[in-house]
Amino acid sequence: MVYTRRSTINAIFRGGLEVFRSWYDVAEICMNGHVTNSSVNKNSQHCQDYCEKCGEKTIRECQDCSTPIRGKLHVEGGFGSTHYYAPSYCHKCGNPFPWTEATLKAAKELAQEVEEFSQEDIDIFTASLDDLIVDNPHTKVAAVKFKKILSKAQQPMKDAIYQLLIDTVSETARKIVWPDI
């Protein structure tokens, strides 16, 4: 099991102070980013070699450093996270997971197909993608540039880009690029 940096959570229980340990389970995710099991250690019976949604192979560790993929947070006493999202990057080595790389590659390919984009627009669009999926000081700048360029595309292309990126971009970027969603 992978323990959090702060591996205890203090809680008031029955008038006394109880200490609960917390840990991240291991996740199993297909190469396209579909979560097949967010709690491999706790629910190993739900593991599958291939994704039932797309047929791709599933993985449980980073392909670069072999660190287990962080899964659902468990807390002794029944508390913990209720929903799990596939991470974009490995928490150990910082490299993108295969589904993140595939999404970025597809978005870059899609930008090439937007007739309304100049080569400069395509360059800015593709350069901004890396900053859209993480929260860093440049995320807001990248999101504003991305939104400005995206406004040049026709609605069907905007919709395709939205469908491709909405689950990958950071919350900060999403609020700027698609504020009504």
Kindly report, residue by residue over 119-158, the tens digit of the pLDDT: 999 999 999 999 999 999 999 999 999 999 999 999 999 9
List the strands of the sheet with 2-13, edge to edge: 2-13, 16-26, 70-75
- pLDDT, one tens digit per residue, over 34-59 is 999 999 999 999 999 999 999 999 99
Question: Scanning the structure block, which residue is given the tokens 């706790």?
Answer: 42
Q: Rounded to whole angstroms, how far apart are CA atoms 109 and 122?
A: 10
pLDDT for 5 equals 38
- pLDDT, one tens digit per residue, over 78-89 is 666 678 999 999
Q: Using a cut of 0.85, tell me whether the model's pTM lies above it.
A: no
pLDDT for 79 equals 63
Which helix (H) or strand (E) is 159 found in, with range? helix 155-165
pLDDT surpassing 90 at residue 16: no
